[in-house]
Structure 1
Amino acid sequence: MCNIFASQDPATYACETRAIRLHGHCTSIRLESAFWRILERIAAAEGSSVTRFLVTLHDEVLARRGEIGNFASLLRVTCLLWLENQDRHAAEVAARSLQAA
């Protein structure tokens, strides 16, 4: 029953720590490799680097909520939401591009 999940490469769930700079402050984020790959895909769809995407997301969440309790968890759920809503995201990116033109 769980062959597709049980047979995955352990590298996909190995943790990877990346350092990023948020408004001049260095911080590190530890996520499983699979999540970093999804974040790379999201950033590419946005026409951005992963770091730039993370900074933008961080700023937008702060503006809406005033705080971020657990940024790594927010990033994991962001990946899941993107996987479930890729068409909607593509439409939003396209709409932003039209507005910018």
Structure 2
Amino acid sequence: MCELYVKADPILYESRSRSLRICGVVTTLRLENQFWDILSEIAEVDGMTTNQLIAKLYEEVMDYRGEVVNFASFLRVSCTRYLSQRRVASPELSVVKRSVK
């Protein structure tokens, strides 16, 4: 079983920083490449860019919680929750709330 993990391509767990604008403020996030890939997949499913998705998640967690102690950790947990739910959910899985029209 451990082979599945130890033989993972090291590029997947290499960190990469990315600058983006959240609520009008430029900030930098540092995540492992695997998480950037998952966020990109989620954004594609939701019809937005990765930066738009991250900004939307930030807005939603701020609305719900009022603060974010460690946003990078929040994003990692969001990715793992997405993957866990994707295994059993329909292809219409979305992480962000959809507006009712």
Q: TM-score range by the shorter chain?
A: 0.7 to 0.9
Distance 1:49 1:66, change over 3 A: same
Larger radius of gyration between Structure 1 and Structure 2:
1
Which fold has the larger relative contact order, with Cα–Cα distance below 8 Å and residues 6 or more apart in sequence? 2
State the one-letter code of the partner of 1:40: S
Q: Equivalents in 2 of 1:19, 1:11: separation in Å? A: 20
Segments of 5+ residues of structure 1 without an aligned counterpart are: none
Q: Within 5 A, what are the aligned runs for 1:1-101?
A: 1-86=1-86, 87=89, 90-91=92-93, 96=98, 99-100=100-101
Q: Equivalents in 2 of 1:57, 1:38: separation in Å? A: 14
Query: What root-mean-square deviation, in Å, do the aligned CA atoms of Structure 1 and Structure 2 show?
Result: 1.9
| Runs of 4+ off more than 3 Å | none
Q: Is the 8 A contact 1:82 1:89 kept in 2?
A: no
Tell me which protein shows more helix as a share of its residues.
1
Q: TM-score scaled to structure 2, two decimals?
A: 0.87
